[in-house]
Structure 1
Amino acid sequence: MTDKRPIVNALVLDMDNTLYDWVAYFVPAVRAMVTVAAKLLAVSEDELRGDLRFVHRTHGNTEHPFALLETAAVERQMPAMSQRARHEHLLPAFAAFNEVRRNHLRLYQGVESTLRAVKATGCRIVGHTEAKDVNISSRARALGLESMLEAVYAPRFVGPPHPLGVDRRSTPAAIEVCVLPPTARKPNPDIARRIAEQLNVPPARCLYVGDNLSKDVVMAKRAGMLAAWARYGTHHDPELWRDLVALSHWEATAVSAAESTGDDSTRFAPDVTLDAFYELLDHYAFAPDPQSRQSQMASDCLATGPTE
């Protein structure tokens, strides 16, 4: 019997809420950090959460590294202290965040076995995210993704230096990061097209998997790629989602967009809807592309990363 599944030579994966539940680990980790930090700073948790949201809005990034050190409460309570000294004083709060992250950050069921099965076919596998390079590299290390993904496309972190004077770029990344400009945002189809170009795989033989219909799926379809919607990644604990929105840098319109499908997602429907990541193997046939230049991937992506 003929296999009628579409052939895929390159698998391009959104990261947060596609490979793991970002909301389920990030919000509890921030909660733990705020509980400890509020006591150390002698302020209320509500006040500190408000300060964090202001920092997030200032940088346009809800996952801004060491945002706690830039809060008004820290500035008020430790006006004459260096960032290093502030970091040392608040170390128990950062430790609380890291402990909860270790306990909650897990790949979705079937992700590891599915990625290993796809990789065994010779199909290319890369990630693509709007999370900053320093954050996604840390998650990749914690999850062991460097053994499954060839590289991850992510925007460069732009912000204050590490409080301990550590050069974030001098630390070897857990996974090869192909740097995107900060303004390279989904659903710009040029990003997806350039990823396909650098993989040397025709867009029609690339499959993009993501949890966001209006960003991931629309971008992929406009770029001429196959698109699978990770519907399972949209199921969040309502209480965690509420707390995330309260902490986030998102404007009200952005929250509404995140909770709706939008006009473009109606015009650009996914080819497949997934209720579990491992269902990919039922819908697609993965195979190597003889024209692909995998050995050139790292140097090419760093030298000529996608632009706006």
Structure 2
Amino acid sequence: MNSPQKSLLITDLDNTLYDWVSYFVPSIYRLIDTAKDILGCDQERLINDLQKVHKIHHDSEHPFALLEADVVKHTYAGLPRTEIKRRLDSAFHAFNSERRSRLRLYEGVEPTLDQLKSRGIKVVAYTESKFFGVVDRIRRLGLEAHIDKVYCRERSETVHPDEKPVSEWLADFPAHKVVEQCVHSLKPNPEVLLEICASEGVAPEHAVYVGDSLPKDIYMAKQAGITSVWAKYGSMVDLDLYDKLIRISHWTTADIEREKKFKLLAQGMQVDLIAEEKFSEVLKAFS
């Protein structure tokens, strides 16, 4: 029997459309190296402080986390956030410079998305990243023209240090394309994918999901009854970079144990399709 015709692609973002680890880790460590010199503090102390902030917000990309680090608050006690940011401006510029040089879409992502859309396939993204980081990357990569909607975690409750309103920051971005989900809507909960399908008016059997993580993305898609495509190319992570990521990440012991549990559940799981080398291989799921 032929499989049902597909009309919806749900794609992961990080390490599926672009290499998140290879851009973020060098960028955050450029910020750390620059900031420690400004502050005159030990690198390990600053890393510990940043990880503490990330864990409080359960977000390794918490906006301007440096301003909430204990060493920064102690060093600049009594100064307004705008002044503290000014004094640390070169650290933020170092992060932005490194990000500019490294953040790129994987080869073939744009033409593949455009080809799907030209065939009447709806393209939406689902990510565990939070609102501000997601919008920033989509804008930098020009993805807003290629994706119909993005489902992400709800934004952090934070104030821009320059007191810039969010409406001004989003002035040139189609904010209606972003749907913020409850912080508890985490992978690999299949109900999240089923809710996305329902919101898009597409039955699960007519959807395709692509992601780089077997225990989170693919296990979730299989549980939801959605055709799964494993972006194997995105799972090849530099181990040195990954160790540095763990060192500053928001992951708790409970998060790591949860990850181990789903790795065990995913063992021996049959993947519907494997994208070995590039994103364009997802087209096979729509043949």
Pairwise same-fold verdict (TM > 0.5): yes
Cα distance, 1:254 vs structure 2:
3.4
User: Is the aligned partner of 1:31 residue 2:29?
Assistant: yes
- TM-score (normalizing by structure 1): 0.86
> Match for 1:278 among 277, 280, 287?
280
- Match for residue 80 of structure 1? 78
Cα distance, 1:158 vs structure 2:
2.3
Is this contact kept in 2: 1:155–1:180, CA < 8 A? yes
Cα distance, 1:171 vs structure 2:
3.1
Is this contact kept in 2: 1:222–1:268, CA < 8 A? no
Is this contact kept in 2: 1:217–1:269, CA < 8 A? no
Cα–Cα, structure 1 residues 241 and 258, in superposed 2: closer, same or farther, change >3 Å? farther
Looking at structure 2, the residues matched to 45 and 85 of structure 1 have their Cα atoms a distance apart, in angstroms, of 23
Is this contact kept in 2: 1:141–1:174, CA < 8 A? no
Is this contact kept in 1: 2:62–2:156, CA < 8 A? no
User: Is the aligned partner of 1:113 residue 2:114?
Assistant: no
Is this contact kept in 1: 2:30–2:98, CA < 8 A? yes
Looking at structure 2, the residues matched to 37 and 155 of structure 1 have their Cα atoms a distance apart, in angstroms, of 28
Looking at structure 1, the residues matched to 168 and 268 of structure 2 have their Cα atoms a distance apart, in angstroms, of 44
Cα–Cα, structure 1 residues 194 and 283, in superposed 2: closer, same or farther, change >3 Å? closer
Is this contact kept in 2: 1:218–1:269, CA < 8 A? no
- Match for residue 203 of structure 1? 204
- Equivalences, count: 283
Unaligned runs of 5+ in 2: none
Cα distance, 1:233 vs structure 2:
1.0
- Match for residue 44 of structure 1? 42
Is this contact kept in 1: 2:197–2:204, CA < 8 A? yes
Cα distance, 1:196 vs structure 2:
0.6
SS of residue in 2 equivalent to 1:103? helix
User: Is the aligned partner of 1:191 residue 2:192?
Assistant: yes
Percent identity (aligned): 35
Unaligned runs of 5+ in 1: 286-308
- Match for residue 10 of structure 1? 8
CA offset digits 1:161-181 (Å, max 9, x no partner): 111112225532355201111
The aligned runs of 1:10-159 (5 Å cut-off) are 10-159=8-157
Moved more, 216-225 or 132-141: 216-225
Moved more, 59-68 or 256-265: 256-265
Cα distance, 1:116 vs structure 2:
1.3
- Match for residue 216 of structure 1? 217
Cα–Cα, structure 1 residues 115 and 5, in superposed 2: closer, same or farther, change >3 Å? farther
- Match for residue 263 of structure 2? 262
Moved more, 64-73 or 268-277: 268-277
Moved more, 109-118 or 65-74: 109-118
Cα distance, 1:44 vs structure 2:
1.7
CA offset digits 1:53-90 (Å, max 9, x no partner): 11111111111111000001101100011111111111
Cα distance, 1:110 vs structure 2:
1.4
Cα distance, 1:213 vs structure 2:
1.4
Cα distance, 1:274 vs structure 2:
1.3
